[in-house]
Structure 1
Amino acid sequence: MSRSIAAGAACAAALTAVPAEAHGPDGRTPHWELKDSGAPEVRFRGLSAVSRDTAWLAGTQGTVLRTTDGGASWRNVSPPGAAELQFRDVEAFDARRAVVLAIGAGEASRVYRTEDGGVTWTESFRNTDANAFYDCLTFFDRRHGLAMSDPVDGRFRILSTADGGRSWKVLPHTGMPAALDGEAGFAASGQCLVSSGPRDVWLATGGAARARVLHSADRGLTWTASDPPIPAGNPAKGVFALAFRDRAHGTAVGGDYNPDQASPRAGARTTDAGRTWQPAAIAPPAYRSGAAWLPHSRGAALAVGPTGTDLTTDGGRTWRTVDTGSYDTVDCTVDGGCWASGEKGRVARLEN
């Protein structure tokens, strides 16, 4: 067994074996170990984990941070002149190359790219359509990626790159199903648009009478829609995050982001690439905005939100709370590293 597979397997086994009450900052393992980002005024909804040592954060006030020493120190590598922007997604290829997305109406939606660890940045896209509002990014590989906007003229808009984010073009909308009345994506964790493998991508929605997951098997040219059993019905409810461990097996989490509202049925799973969804028999107990599969595990995944972290070890059938700290998003790497980030500069790495 390779070192990375062993690390992932040990993490999954430890999470399964240790009772929920043992998870926390009390020294017992496994647990989220908080790292000092040095930015308590920033909410980091964007996170890209490269390895156990290297991770990128993107958040409010135009802030981008990077660590290469496992979170012991963070370098502020924010693009100059971006203090008014809200970065909600970051996709990093390694310690030097990353792409970040700023969200908002009109020209507030922008994409920046760096090739030197954030020493310099290039603005590679600025939205000029007042009706567009970009929410999330995803990459299939180091060259091919997509970004998605809330519906424009009745359909979700997809932006495509084939050169690692250096340039972007809007894809034709003819293969996109019509949007429902009030339907939109949630820029809550950078996980409303996710990919697996070289061509498959999924888009999560809410805000309408029902939540949907849209799937494309051709890098965003044509899409089909399905209805996961996660409640919607108002602008604060729906599917907030997706995670796929391969092109067939995925999990969806969400709920109602209003803190005074319950979020029953906040989890669902699929085994057929999102054509059909089954509700979790035991769902996360509250709204969850982020999700990630543990590396090298067929059934273990994490879901995070403002009231805690939940674990499934059976592919999303049942979930149990393993931590009560506030996080918005989570990401895991092939070498066994899992990171989470959120409000008040919070960032943590899962320790065994």
Structure 2
Amino acid sequence: MMRFLSPMAVVLGLLAAAPVQAQWHGLLSGTHEDLSAVSAIDGQIAWVSGAHGTVLRTQDGGTSWQACAVPPGAAGLDLRGVQGFDKDTAVAMAGGQGQASRLFKTADGCRTWKVVLANPDAAGSFEALRRATAYDIYLLGLPVDGKFVVYLSRNAGDSWTRQVDDGLAVPSGAHPGVGGSSAMTNVLSFMAFGGAGEGAPVYSYGPLCKGKACEVGWSGKPTPLAQGGVTASVAGRNVMVPATGTVTGIGTMPATTLVAVGGNPQQGAGAAAFSTDGGASWKPASVAPGGYRSAVDFDGDHNRFIAVGPEGTDVTVDDGLIWAPLRPAPGGSTEEGKGWTALSVPFVVGPHGRIGRLPSE
């Protein structure tokens, strides 16, 4: 049976899909190196990393950027990930096969660095880094022996333990790849990351229940992203929903909403999907971004998700159902929304030293 939308529903849908006026303001980074990762502590402090061992830090909201000391032996390495803990402490991740992958930590405002983890797998590669709590931080690597590699540090990156979990196995038909430096996300203690190939799966870490028996672990679920594409980035937030089942005395409970972006760089469709049950099931966006998107983040100040990529920037205010492009401010150019690689609200980074910031409206 065909379902007809009411005129009011059509109007609301059109309004939701209208371009959103807000745009990135370009900042002077002081470098021309390609930048591939950013970690915002707040609106004032942020860390950025990129090619040839580049690490930058700002403490004034992006007005100025300090060029950090190059980590030892990293001058020829691509620092694909960075996670800051505060203005003085951060962990940077070099990616690449075998020994090219390693982690560096600074605790003195990036004057000095030390190696805290070297990749022990000759065929492996570190791919994503994400801080989960004040001290916990996760590392994601490409699959080795049929399983994604995940490490966890509970002391702000000083020491690392490899996760042993059958739920990290690569499903049959999937390519052993992940989206990139912003692939892993966290919502409180909930973690998720994206994969490539058939079903472009998203792996999430959380409760696994069979009947009344529950345990915590990793599990992967397919998404409806573009065929042959990749889940390049996952972001999430917790929402409160009515309590159900046998829970008594509690009106609402937290539920994890996830948004995944990516798709096939050669296709414009299938670039976004969303989950309202912590990754157990996924639905395609009704109105998707205008092409492949490489990173997504939740903007809590404006209750919206923002996605960036080579061809543009898009926003959703309904948890991933309908996306709309950011339009330039008066006098601005549509090019301001293009060519970005990674974001951590309110900052965004890209090739040739590009750094932008959302206006604090």
TM-score of the superposition, structure 2-length normalised? Answer: 0.82
Partner of 2:218: 223
Give the paired residue count: 313
Q: Distance in 2 between matches of 1:232 and 1:121?
A: 42
Structure 1 residue matching 2:168: 3-state secondary structure: coil
Q: 2: distance between equivalents of 1:106 and 1:253?
A: 28
Aligned to 1:116: 108
| 2:25 paired residue number | 33
Measure, in 2, the Cα distance between the counterparts of 1:139 and 1:72. Answer: 25
- Unpaired runs of 5+ residues, structure 1, are 1-15, 24-29, 333-337
Please list the CA deviations of residues 18-67 of structure 1 after superposition, one character each: whole Å capped at 9, or x if unmatched. x73x84xxxxxx32110011112x12111001122211111011100011
Whose radius of gyration is greater, 1 or 2?
Answer: 2
Q: Aligned partners of 2:316 and 2:142: how far apart in 1? A: 30
- Corresponding residue for residue 62 of structure 1: 53
| Percent sequence identity over aligned pairs | 31
2:309 paired with 1:320: no
The aligned counterpart of 1:72 is 63
**SS class of match (1:231):** coil
In structure 1, C-alpha distance between the alignment counterparts of 2:299 and 2:119, rounded to whole Å: 35
Tell me if structure 2 keeps the 8 A contact 1:106–1:127: yes
Alignment partner of 1:262 is 2:267? yes
Aligned-residue offset at 1:119: 0.8
Match of 1:140 among 119, 127, 132: 132
TM superposition shift of 1:175: 4.1
User: Alpha-carbon deviation of 1:296?
Assistant: 4.2
The equivalent residue for 2:247 is none
Give per-residue Cα distances to partners, 1:114-133, cap 9 Å, x unaligned.
11110111110011211211
Q: Which amino acid aligns with 1:291?
A: V
Which residue identity is paired with 1:72?
T
Matches within 5 A, 1:279-298: 279-298=284-303
- What is residue 245 of structure 2 aligned with on the other side? none
How do residues 11-26 of structure 1 correspond to structure 2 at under 5 angstroms? 20=19, 23=21
Alignment partner, residue 44 of structure 2? 53
- Equivalent positions of 1:173-192 (< 5 A) are 173-181=165-173, 183-186=175-178, 188=180, 190-192=181-183
Structure 2 unaligned residues grouped into runs of 5+: 1-14, 208-214, 239-254, 328-336
| CA positional deviation for 1:142 | 2.4
Structure 1 position 101 matched with structure 2 position 93: yes
How big is the shift at 1:316? 0.8
Moved over 4 A (4+): none
Deviation at 1:297, TM superposition (A): 4.6
Q: Contact between 1:155 and 1:178, CA under 8 Å: does it hold in 2?
A: yes
Q: More deviation in 78-87 or 108-117?
A: 78-87
Q: Determine which structure has the larger strand proportion and give its number.
A: 2
Shift in Å, 1:277:
0.8
Structure-2 separation of matches of 1:250 and 1:174 = 23
8 A contact 2:45–2:61 mirrored in 1: yes
Matching residue of 1:278: 283
Q: What CA distance in whole angstroms lies between the structure 1 residues aligned with 2:139 and 2:176?
A: 14
CA distance in 2, matches of 1:162, 1:172: 16
For 2:172 and 2:268, locate their aligned partners in 1 and report how far apart those are by CA, in whole Å. Answer: 22
